[in-house]
């Protein structure tokens, strides 16, 4: 479904991706782990065209993402939950959720778009009374859930989750993890999640990939993660200060 | 010798960087205009921009114009009395306001009020990944954020300048009639008779150009913003500085183009 082939990206003198190779199969949930600044978010942004790789190829369903085509139709296949939710401050919650349904190729009548937004909010555990509030009036956990509702509003084939539980308390993290898992299973979507939270990894992932020094250090089913024998992965999943990964980067 | 070469190289680098920035701003403005004429169009965004740039700027524009017109009348009266030319107050106030002070002061007020707010808003959106979110929601940020604001400024600012001209002249009229013993009807007739169509046209054209500069610089600085609160602050500051300087420079060029013929 999504295939990275030798993707490189450098910002100034900082080589973030140094030959990323990774495959995410259709209908599976891949979780990418790795230290801060190792290029996890950059990898996702490369798929969506928010960042242009210096070299290498990214294929979605066998099609090279760098070759023109209908960009709007391409992006309509994706939903993304951003780390800080990235809700539009100037719009009420329901218009954030229904953003894609109020304009462009997927445009629906306003009443129908609102109905879908309220249903998606219900799906992530938020009542209809939230629909007319503004993002600034919501807690961090509620904003994340609104972001999640927005990501799934147009029933995308692929959903990206960028650190979905960062900044949330453990209970809210558990709620978000369960929601992500349910949504992925029910919608049959392909999911790629970036996280540092190992409880999220175990709750969400079918497969795990560890990104280190701009390359995939280890990838495999989540069930094999603990017995990988890779010292880098072991250090990361057990959160040890001692090991091959230098804690000061 | 090496010190001189080092100095020249430093100057050269700065000049090249400045030229590159000018090139980027021009390309940015061209892209904004190209998005204005290609669908999809975001009518609601345009209406919001018209409200914020036009309607909500009226109080500050009106106050600036009325005080400037009033002060100008007092100055011209005081200066004119030195060579017994107090009677030209209506004409000089009208000429000064319509040709020069109206468009420039409205332009600078728009740079202070609108450019800063656009830059801060878009920069905050960039820092909080809202611009990336727009893109992932199949919405082009240039089309959704930039084109409506630049178009709204192109429409609104000439109107604001026209209103500012009228209010400025009224400021002069109020002072002249109430404090300087001018006859009201004569003041108005002298003003209307003296102004030529080119004076008004130049004022409105300046308004349109200044509006485009103000909105474009706000949008450009916002989209180029660095990370964090510091990035937002820097974008806001640099947008107002650049817009103000460009408005004053454009004013010289436009004045030359209209009146040196």
User: Positive or negative CA dihedral for B161, B162, B165, B167?
Assistant: negative
Contact A99, A88 (CB under 8 A): yes
Gap between the Cα atoms of B205 and B200, Å rounded: 9
> Which chain A residue shows the shortest CA-CA distance from B126?
A86
The per-residue pLDDT for B172 is 95
Interchain CB distance below 8 Å, B138 and A105? yes
Contact A179, A125 (CB under 8 A): yes
Q: What is the pLDDT of residues B239-249, one digit of tens each?
A: 999 999 999 99
Interchain CB distance below 8 Å, B128 and A103? no
The per-residue pLDDT for B96 is 94
Q: Which two tokens stand for residue A175?
A: 């709620």
Beta carbons within 8 Å of B221's beta carbon, 6+ residues apart: B119, B122, B123, B235, B236, B238, B239, B242
Beta strands in chain A (DSSP E): 2-11, 14-24, 29-33, 55-60, 63-64, 78-81, 158-162, 190-194, 207-212, 215-221
Q: How sure is the predictor about B85, in pLDDT bands with cuts at 50, 70 and 90?
A: confident
Q: Which two tokens stand for residue A30?
A: 């891949």
Query: How many Cβ atoms are within 10 Å of B74's Cβ, its own excluded?
Result: 16
- Is A89 in CB contact (< 8 Å) with chain B? yes
Domain extent for B15: 2-259
Nearest to B257 by CA among B197, B189, B206, B188: B206
Interchain CB distance below 8 Å, B130 and A86? yes
Gap between the Cα atoms of A53 and A215, Å rounded: 14
Gap between the Cα atoms of A17 and B71, Å rounded: 63
Gap between the Cα atoms of B80 and A201, Å rounded: 82
How many interchain CB pairs under 8 A, A with B? 51
Contact B150, B33 (CB under 8 A): yes
Q: Which two tokens stand for residue B139?
A: 């919405």
Query: How many Cβ atoms are within 10 Å of B201's Cβ, its own excluded?
Result: 11
Per-residue pLDDT of chain A (249 residues; tens, 9 = 90+): 899 999 999 998 888 999 999 999 998 999 999 888 888 999 999 999 999 999 999 999 888 888 867 888 888 899 999 988 999 998 999 999 999 999 877 788 999 999 999 999 998 888 999 999 999 999 888 998 899 999 988 889 999 999 988 877 888 888 888 888 888 888 888 999 999 888 889 999 999 999 998 899 999 999 999 888 888 898 988 888 887 887 665
Q: What is the pLDDT of residues B95-121, one digit of tens each?
A: 999 999 999 999 999 999 999 999 999
Rg from Cα positions in chain A: 18
Number of domains in chain B: 1
CA-based nearest distance A88→chain B, Å:
6
Q: What is the pTM of this model?
A: 0.87
Q: Mapping DSSP to helix (H, G, I), strand (E, B) and coil, where does residue B192 land?
A: helix
The per-residue pLDDT for B58 is 95
Q: Which two tokens stand for residue B129?
A: 């990944």
Q: Please measure the distance between the N-terminal and C-terminal CA atoms of chain B and give it in whole angstroms.
A: 47
Interchain CB distance below 8 Å, B128 and A45? no
Q: Please report, for residues A2, A5, B248, the alpha-carbon distance to residue A193 in angstroms, rounded to integers and kept in the order given.
A: 13, 19, 51
The per-residue pLDDT for B99 is 93
Gap between the Cα atoms of B76 and A70, Å rounded: 63
Q: Please measure the distance between the N-terminal and C-terminal CA atoms of chain A and give it in whole angstroms.
A: 33
Residues of chain A positioned with their CB less than 8 A from the CB of B135: 48-50, 75
The per-residue pLDDT for B103 is 96
For residue B244, the surrounding DSSP H or E stretch is helix B228-259
Q: What is the pLDDT of residues B117-176, one digit of tens each?
A: 999 999 999 999 999 999 999 899 999 999 999 999 999 999 999 999 999 999 999 999
Contact B170, A126 (CB under 8 A): no
CA-based nearest distance B60→chain A, Å:
24
Q: Please count the residues of chain A.
A: 249
ipTM over cut 0.85: yes
Question: What average pLDDT does the structure give for chain B?
Answer: 93
């Amino acid at each position: 479904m999504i295939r990275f082939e030798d993707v490189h990206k450098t910002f100034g003198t900082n080589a973030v991706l140094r030959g990323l190779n990774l495959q995410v199969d259709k209908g599976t949930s891949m979780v990418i782990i790795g230290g801060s600044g190792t290029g996890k978010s950059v990898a996702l942004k490369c798929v969506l065209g928010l960042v242009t790789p210096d070299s290498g190829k990214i294929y979605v369903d066998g099609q090279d993402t760098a070759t023109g085509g209908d960009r709007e139709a391409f992006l309509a296949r994706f939903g993304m939950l951003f780390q800080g939710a990235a809700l539009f401050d100037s719009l009420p919650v329901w218009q954030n959720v229904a953003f894609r349904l109020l304009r462009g190729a997927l445009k629906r009548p306003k009443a129908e778009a609102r109905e879908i937004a309220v249903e998606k909010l219900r799906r992530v555990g938020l009542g209809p009374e939230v629909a007319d509030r503004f993002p600034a009036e919501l807690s961090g956990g509620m904003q994340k859930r609104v972001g999640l509702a927005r990501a799934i509003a147009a029933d995308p084939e692929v959903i990206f989750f960028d650190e979905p539980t960062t900044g949330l308390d453990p209970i809210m993290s558990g709620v978000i993890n369960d929601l992500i898992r349910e949504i992925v299973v029910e919608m049959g979507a392909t999911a790629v999640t970036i996280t540092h939270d190992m409880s999220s990894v175990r709750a969400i992932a079918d497969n795990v990939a560890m990104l280190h020094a701009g390359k995939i250090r280890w990838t495999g089913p989540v069930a094999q993660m603990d017995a990988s024998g890779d010292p880098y992965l072991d250090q990361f999943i057990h959160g040890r200060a001692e090991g091959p990964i230098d804690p000061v980067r | 010798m090496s010190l001189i070469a080092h100095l020249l190289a430093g100057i050269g680098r700065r000049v090249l960087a400045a030229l590159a920035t000018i090139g980027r701003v021009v390309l940015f403005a061209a892209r904004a205009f190209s998005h204005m004429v290609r669908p999809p169009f975001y009518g609601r965004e345009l209406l919001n921009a018209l409200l914020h740039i036009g309607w909500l700027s009226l109080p500050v524009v009106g106050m600036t114009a009325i005080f400037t017109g009033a002060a100008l009348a007092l100055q011209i009266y005081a200066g004119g009395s030195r060579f017994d030319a107090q009677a030209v107050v209506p004409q000089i106030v009208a000429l000064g306001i319509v040709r020069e002070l109206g468009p420039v002061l409205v332009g600078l007020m728009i740079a202070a009020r609108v450019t800063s707010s656009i830059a801060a808003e878009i920069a905050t959106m960039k820092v909080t990944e809202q611009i990336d979110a727009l893109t992932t929601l199949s919405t082009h940020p240039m089309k959704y954020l930039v084109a409506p604001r630049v178009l709204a400024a192109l429409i609104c600012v000439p109107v604001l300048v026209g209103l500012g001209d009228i209010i400025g002249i009224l400021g002069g009229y109020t002072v002249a009639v109430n404090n300087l013993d001018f006859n009201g009807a004569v003041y108005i007739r002298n003003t209307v008779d003296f102004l030529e169509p080119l004076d008004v046209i130049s004022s409105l054209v300046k308004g349109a150009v200044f509006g485009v500069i103000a909105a474009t610089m706000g949008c450009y600085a916002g989209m180029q913003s660095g990370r964090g609160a510091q990035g937002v602050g820097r974008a806001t500051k640099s947008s107002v500085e650049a817009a103000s300087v460009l408005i004053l420079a454009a004013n010289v060029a436009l004045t030359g183009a209209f009146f040196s013929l």
